[in-house]
Amino acid sequence: MRKFTEREKEILWIVSVCLSVMIFITTILTLKEQLLFEDCLFFSIIVAITPPAVLDYWEYRWRGSINERLPDLFRNIVQAQKTGMSLPRALEEASKRNYGSLTEELKRIVNQMSWGLSFEEALQKFGNRINTSLVQRCVPLIIEASHSGGRVEEVFAPMGSFIQSTLTMEKKRKAQTKPYIAK
């Protein structure tokens, strides 16, 4: 799974709508008086809506997989900090592990820092790319912790617990509301 750019989303919408319009025009020209007209009209609407909906679902899953791996990342950063690594170095070491979809984003942060971007700027760009509520809450805390210096692991350990409990509560909420959702 990966995040899709706005350009890719626009192209998919344009292609889907163009295909739908072509199906609709062909239907009007060939089946105007027949019973299949409504079926073809319905099919053209499905062709317009389904591909962008699938793309949105994939992106939703991508964001969810990143949120699920954040506690593991913070646990590993805490362990690296306890061994004496700096925060950027701990993040670099964490990017060498497998966190699923999060690994690619960590490598991007490390690459941006190697190109001369500051740690804070790279994290802010990460937060803007991912754009989930958990990441938006965590990025400012990480930046403040890096500014304050000292025992940064004291910030990461509770943040990992917070994220884990937030994800657990969200799963419980979804499980409790699932019987009320029409399938």
Residue pLDDT, tens place only, 33-91 = 666 777 888 888 999 999 999 999 999 899 888 888 888 888 888 888 888 888 888 88
DSSP 83: T
Given a contact cutoff of 8 angstroms between Cβ atoms, the answer to whether 132 and 67 are in contact is yes
Residue with tokens 């791996």: 69
Rounded distance, CA 12 to CA 6, Å? 10
Terminal Cα distance for the chain, rounded: 25
User: In a 10 Å sphere around its CB, with 0-12 CB exposed, 13-18 middle and 19+ buried, how is residue 171 labelled?
Assistant: exposed
Closest CA to 1 of 72, 57, 71, 67: 57
Two tokens, residue 50: 């389904």
| pLDDT digit string, tens, across residues 106-148 | 999 999 999 999 888 998 999 998 888 888 888 888 888 778 7
pLDDT confidence of residue 146: 79
What is the pTM (predicted TM-score) of this model? 0.76
Contact 134, 67 (CB under 8 A): yes
What DSSP designation does 99 have? -
* Type of residue found at 70: L
Closest Cα to residue 124, out of 107, 143, 106, 101? 143
